[in-house]
């Protein structure tokens, strides 16, 4: 079949867009009608408690973004100028930027093939090379849990603080526990593209009640108790709005429904693309259940056509029976569907290129996945018919 035989999708199919249900509006209206149009109110109190209970942590602190949560995690972990922090390498930059906000030194840890997350072996090597690493921040990429027990054990052995970036993995479990509870300090996100959204927003999760109180205080400008505005520390305007918290509150009962839809999408791609020289993004089926936030592909090495990328552009050379992420993404775009390259590893980013990068294999696993991998349209409002069309488009790229 030739690419041109397929007609573009009637409406755009997104990578992952917000899916509203109606309850969100009721909670937002409640904020309006009670005049709690502020960073205080019932929506915040309720959703903090609901999320804490669900994840299995003592405290959840509602914040303006997942990035704000990660920033306060860094402060709680005592990250300051020159302090080394081992970080997931193949992740979104928000996992790492908060280290830099505090003047810390990220040390990037290569990726392992089985979950596309931080490689525990490379992490061990990083502690050998840099025994002064004080904290580790691990992301669960695309909703797939990392090898959290192994990473936690390495941290315990070296007395390092574990910070879990569960921004993409809300609702995913590892050994029966929800992601977002494995670190001493943890972060989730309600950004518009996440599995549930507030339009924006995030939370810091922890069992440490004092730390939660500290984070809450920093997030509201670090006010001391006094009759006037009194500050002995630098604060931030990071608290979640009661309106945003209302959206999250309305979304939260639909989390499992969204996960089921995303899982069905993942399985439909897996089955539909099974004859092609590609693999889906893997997970540790014995120990984890992802939330299937994004469905991704990795093209077999011998089925890759020529592809060249510089800092800002990518080109490819079509070849019969072969394809590459650039060809697939461009073809999807032409047919009105949004895919995306794999998150470019941090050690390749111009802003972080001078930082340390630790790997155990000869060449970087993350670089290889970035070169051969892509994220497929994974929107939970995509119909099975639309998805079938996307499968046909991908197949045609390999014709």
Burial class from Cβ neighbours inside 10 Å (0-12, 13-18, 19+) for residue 2 reads: exposed
Smallest gap from Cβ 143 to ligand PLP, in A, equals 10
Shorter beta-carbon distance to ligand PLP: residue 91 or 242: 91
Q: Tell me the window of 121-129, 147-155, 164-172, 245-253 that interacts with ligand PLP (CB under 6 A).
A: 164-172
Instruction: Please name the residues in contact with 187: beta carbons below 8 A apart, sequence gap of 6 or more.
Output: 66, 69, 70, 73, 163, 164, 165, 166, 167, 180, 202, 203, 204, 205
Among 24, 48, 164, 168, binds ligand PLP (CB under 6 A): 168
DSSP 109-136: EPBPTTTSSB-HHHHHHHHHH-TT--EE
Q: How far apart are CA 115 and CA 137, in angstroms?
A: 16
165 near ligand PLP (CB under 6 A): yes
Smallest gap from Cβ 333 to ligand PLP, in A, equals 22
Residue the block writes with tokens 């090379």: 129
191 near ligand PLP (CB under 6 A): yes
Q: Cα angle vertex 174, ends 168, 179, to 5°?
A: 40
The answer to whether the CB of 173 falls within 8 A of the CB of 149 is: no
Shorter beta-carbon distance to ligand PLP: residue 55 or 324: 55
Smallest gap from Cβ 65 to ligand PLP, in A, equals 3
Residue 62, both tokens: 């509602």
Size of the residue set binding ligand PLP (CB under 6 A): 14
The answer to whether the CB of 200 falls within 8 A of the CB of 64 is: yes
89 near ligand PLP (CB under 6 A): no
105 near ligand PLP (CB under 6 A): no
Measuring CA to CA, which residue among 137, 182, 133 is closest to residue 158? Answer: 133
* Angle subtended by helix axes 42-55 and 242-251, to nearest 10: 40
Segment 349-368, which members bind ligand PLP (CB under 6 A)?
Answer: none
CA dihedral 37, 204, 212, 176 (to 10 degrees): 130
Shorter beta-carbon distance to ligand PLP: residue 122 or 191: 191
Smallest gap from Cβ 64 to ligand PLP, in A, equals 8
Smallest gap from Cβ 376 to ligand PLP, in A, equals 17
Among 31, 86, 94, 393, binds ligand PLP (CB under 6 A): 94
Smallest gap from Cβ 6 to ligand PLP, in A, equals 31
Buried-state track 78-99, b at ≥16 Cβ within 10 A, e below 16: ebeeebbbbbbbbbbebbbbbb
The answer to whether the CB of 318 falls within 8 A of the CB of 81 is: no
Q: 3-class SS at 335?
A: coil
Among 27, 36, 92, 283, binds ligand PLP (CB under 6 A): 92
65 near ligand PLP (CB under 6 A): yes
Shorter beta-carbon distance to ligand PLP: residue 244 or 365: 244
Among 16, 122, 186, 189, binds ligand PLP (CB under 6 A): 189
281 near ligand PLP (CB under 6 A): no
Q: Measured in Å, how far apart are the chain's first and last C-alpha atoms?
A: 7
323 near ligand PLP (CB under 6 A): no
167 near ligand PLP (CB under 6 A): yes
338 near ligand PLP (CB under 6 A): no
Q: Tell me the window of 35-43, 111-119, 163-171, 331-339 that interacts with ligand PLP (CB under 6 A).
A: 163-171
Among 202, 246, 290, 345, binds ligand PLP (CB under 6 A): 202
Phi, psi of 151 (to 5 degrees): -65, -40
The answer to whether the CB of 324 falls within 8 A of the CB of 303 is: no
Cβ neighbours, 10 Å, residue 191: 21
Among 39, 95, 214, 288, binds ligand PLP (CB under 6 A): 95
Write the binding mask 67 to 86 for ligand PLP: x where contact by CB under 6 A, - elsewhere: x-------------------
Smallest gap from Cβ 194 to ligand PLP, in A, equals 7
Binding site for ligand PLP (CB under 6 A): 65-67, 91-92, 94-95, 139, 165, 167-168, 189, 191, 202
């Amino acid at each position: 079949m030739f690419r041109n035989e397929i007609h573009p999708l009637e409406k755009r199919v997104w990578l992952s867009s917000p899916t509203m249900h109606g309850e969100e509006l009721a909670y937002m209206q409640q904020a309006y009608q009670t005049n709690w149009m502020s960073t205080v109110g019932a929506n915040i109190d309720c959703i903090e408690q609901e999320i804490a209970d669900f994840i299995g942590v003592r405290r959840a602190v509602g914040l303006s973004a997942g990035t704000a949560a990660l920033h306060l995690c860094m402060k709680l972990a005592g990250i300051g100028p020159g302090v080394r922090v081992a970080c997931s390498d193949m992740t979104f930059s928000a996992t790492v930027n908060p280290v830099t906000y505090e003047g810390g030194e990220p040390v990037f840890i290569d990726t392992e093939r089985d979950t596309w997350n931080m490689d525990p072996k490379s992490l061990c090597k990083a502690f050998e090379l840099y025994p002064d690493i004080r904290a580790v921040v691990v992301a669960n990429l695309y909703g797939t849990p990392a090898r959290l027990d192994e990473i936690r054990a390495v941290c315990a052995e070296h007395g390092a603080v574990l910070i879990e970036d569960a921004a993409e993995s809300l609702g995913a479990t590892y050994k029966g526990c929800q992601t977002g509870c494995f670190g001493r300090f943890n972060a989730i996100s309600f950004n518009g593209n996440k599995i549930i959204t507030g339009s924006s927003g995030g939370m810091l999760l922890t069992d440490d009640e004092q730390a939660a109180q500290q984070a809450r205080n920093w997030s509201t400008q670090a006010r001391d108790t006094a009759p006037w505005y009194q500050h002995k520390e630098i604060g931030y305007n990071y608290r979640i709005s009661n309106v945003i918290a209302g959206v999250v509150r309305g979304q939260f009962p639909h989390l499992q429904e969204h996960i089921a839809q995303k899982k069905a999408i993942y399985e439909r791609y897996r089955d539909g693309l099974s004859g092609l020289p590609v693999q889906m993004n893997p997970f540790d089926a014995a120990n984890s259940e992802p939330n299937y936030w994004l469905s991704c592909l990795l093209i077999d090495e011998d089925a890759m056509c020529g592809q060249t990328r510089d800092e800002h552009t990518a080109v490819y050379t079509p070849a019969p029976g072969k394809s590459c992420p650039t060809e697939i993404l461009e073809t999807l775009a032409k047919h009105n569907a949004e895919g995306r390259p794999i998150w470019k590893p941090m050690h390749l980013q111009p802003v972080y290129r001078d930082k340390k990068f630790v790997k155990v294999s000869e060449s970087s696993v993350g670089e290889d996945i970035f070169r051969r991998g892509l994220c497929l349209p994974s929107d939970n409002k995509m119909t099975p018919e639309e998805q079938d069309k996307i499968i046909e488009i991908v197949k045609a790229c390999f014709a």
